[in-house]
């Protein structure tokens, strides 16, 4: 019983920690494989901001076991209105999972108008199609 209680407490604390981390960060992403309904761990993700001189790389991360990056925006930097792009390196992920795909990567540009809000970019992924939307 003590082991179960310790495991349960650990799960709750890690969930709370992830929620707190996400609350402090204005941007998160989530990748779900709609072919099997499972999360997609190990997808490399890049965040860029569009500037007068082109795209500026702000951060890179890799999705966790739940297919999430809960804090993609660089810590300590002001979240500014503007045009951003999240690029999911899906080709590398499919290759690592021995699956052919039509999409080597999925760039998702989006506009931040209100920098005091949280932006969540989910990617629903299959080898020959994808969908995304503004989540919460």
- For the stretch 25-55, pLDDT in tens is 999 999 999 999 999 999 999 999 999 999 9
For residue 79, give Cα distances in angstroms to 30, 83, 109, 113: 20, 11, 16, 11
Cα(69)–Cα(110) distance, integer angstroms:
17
Per DSSP, the three-state class of 43 is coil
For residue 7, give Cα distances in angstroms to 2, 13, 14, 80: 9, 10, 11, 40
Measure CA of the first residue to CA of the last residue in the chain; give whole Å.
Answer: 36
What mean pLDDT do residues 96-106 have?
A: 95
Question: What's the pLDDT band for 62 if we cut at 50, 70, 90?
Answer: very high
Q: pTM score, two decimals?
A: 0.81
């Amino acid at each position: 019983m003590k082991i179960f209680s310790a495991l349960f407490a650990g799960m709750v604390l890690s969930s709370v920690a992830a929620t707190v981390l996400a609350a402090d960060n204005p941007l998160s992403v989530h990748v779900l494989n709609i072919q099997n309904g499972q999360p997609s761990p190990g997808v490399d993700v890049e965040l860029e901001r569009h500037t007068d001189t082109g795209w500026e790389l702000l951060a890179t991360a890799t999705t966790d076991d739940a297919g999430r990056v809960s804090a993609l925006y660089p810590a300590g930097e002001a979240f500014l209105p503007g045009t951003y792009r999240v690029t999911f390196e899906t080709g590398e992920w499919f290759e690592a999972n021995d699956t052919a795909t039509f999409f080597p990567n999925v760039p998702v540009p989006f506009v931040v108008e209100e920098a005091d809000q949280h932006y969540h970019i989910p990617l629903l992924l299959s080898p020959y199609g994808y969908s995304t939307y503004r989540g919460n």
